[in-house]
């Protein structure tokens, strides 16, 4: 049987899933696993270089016939503590934002929030200086006291919509074997349920609370409300 090609995110937020995969025994023979930055997970799934990815939800819009294959995601109920707009100015005064090349979801989330929540017209740039910038993942750890204005986009989305959020979901670009998907989900579930053990394998940091992040800020179940958030977010992206 051909191996199922899987692209997971190479950030700390994925350590519980990685823990599950590491302890998956014989199931590991069925997959070819890579760890990639989110923008590469998206590109690989769009270009059919993998069969399943932990893909930024914004990228689902570019995958015809995608299927969400798991009830787990990278999500939060309010603040997530690793998806930020760092700014020199209060949100209402921001006129230019530099996007994060590793992101697909949070770049779009910044656009959605600036337009619809803060109601400002902003120029978005890939490089160079700007009033503010989007940053995601481990690179944000320890930075929240380094900028005059700091917006956690999980928290701001919740204030805007009253909903939790899913930043990335496990999705396929083709229908896959039902039994495989069932086994894959059991592996992910094991990881999420053992995230306290996954935490013990991480190098402690003095500038960031990894325990609070993995056990409380990140919220892994892909609930009905998070699915509702994805639908709403997709509509908002389409009307940008």
Q: Name which position in 122, 136, 198, 230 contacts ligand ISJ (CB under 6 A).
A: 136
Give strand pairing partners of 125: 98
Minimum gap (Å) between residue 12 Cβ and ligand ISJ: 8
**Spatial separation of the C-alpha atoms in residues 236 and 240, rounded to whole Å:** 6
Cβ-proximal residues to 56 (8 Å cutoff; 6+ apart), any chain: 38, 39, 41, 42, 103, 104, 105, 106, 167, 168
Q: Name which position in 63, 83, 130, 214 contacts ligand ISJ (CB under 6 A).
A: 83
Tell me the window of 74-82, 123-131, 184-192, 205-213 that interacts with ligand ISJ (CB under 6 A).
74-82
Of 77, 53, 46, 40, residue with least CA distance to 4: 53
Site string for ligand ISJ, 28-57 (x = CB under 6 A): ----------x-----------------x-
Residue 80 found at the interface with ligand ISJ (CB under 6 A): yes
Q: Name which position in 7, 43, 70, 82 contacts ligand ISJ (CB under 6 A).
A: 82
Of 202, 83, 51, residue with least CA distance to 154: 83
Residues numbered 106-125 forming contacts with ligand ISJ, rule: CB under 6 A: 106
Residue 17 found at the interface with ligand ISJ (CB under 6 A): no
**Alpha helices, DSSP H only, in the chain?**
15-22, 38-46, 105-116, 153-161, 178-193, 195-200, 210-212, 224-238
3-state secondary structure 116-171: HCCCCCCEEECCCCCCEEEEEHHHHCCCCCCCCEEEEHHHHHHHHHCCCEEEEEEE
Task: Choose between 131 and 152: whose C-beta lies nearer to ligand ISJ.
Answer: 152
- Based on its alpha-carbon atoms, the radius of gyration of the chain, rounded to whole angstroms, reads 18
Q: Name which position in 103, 161, 172, 173 contacts ligand ISJ (CB under 6 A).
A: 103
Residue 70 found at the interface with ligand ISJ (CB under 6 A): no
Residue 230 found at the interface with ligand ISJ (CB under 6 A): no
Minimum gap (Å) between residue 171 Cβ and ligand ISJ: 12
Residue 167 found at the interface with ligand ISJ (CB under 6 A): yes
**Spatial separation of the C-alpha atoms in residues 91 and 168, rounded to whole Å:** 25
Residue 105 found at the interface with ligand ISJ (CB under 6 A): yes
Binding residues (CB under 6 A) for ligand ISJ: these are 9, 11, 13, 38, 56, 74, 80, 82-83, 103-106, 136-137, 167-168
């Amino acid at each position: 049987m051909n191996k199922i090609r899987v692209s997971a995110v190479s950030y700390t937020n994925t350590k519980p899933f990685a823990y599950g995969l590491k302890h998956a025994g014989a199931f590991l023979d069925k997959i070819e696993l890579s760890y990639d930055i989110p923008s590469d997970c998206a590109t690989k799934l769009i270009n059919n270089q993998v069969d399943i990815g932990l893909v930024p939800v914004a990228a689902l819009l570019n995958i015809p016939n995608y299927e969400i294959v798991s009830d787990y995601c990278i999500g939060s109920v309010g603040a997530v503590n690793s998806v930020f707009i760092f700014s020199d100015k209060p949100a209402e005064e921001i006129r230019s934002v530099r996007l994060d090349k590793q992101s697909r979801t949070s770049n779009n989330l910044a656009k959605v929030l600036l337009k619809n929540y803060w109601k400002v017209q902003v120029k978005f740039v890939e490089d160079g200086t700007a009033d503010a910038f989007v940053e995601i993942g481990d690179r944000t750890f320890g930075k929240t006291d380094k900028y005059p204005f700091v917006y956690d986009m999980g928290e701001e989305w919740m204030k805007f919509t009253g909903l939790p959020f899913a930043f990335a979901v496990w999705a396929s670009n083709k229908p896959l074997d039902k039994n495989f998907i069932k086994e894959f989900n059991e592996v992910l579930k094991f990881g999420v349920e053992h995230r306290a053990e996954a935490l013990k394998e991480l190098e402690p940091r003095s500038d960031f609370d990894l325990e609070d992040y993995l056990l409380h800020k990140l919220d892994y179940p892909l609930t009905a409300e998070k699915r509702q958030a994805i639908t709403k977010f997709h509509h908002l992206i389409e009307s940008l």
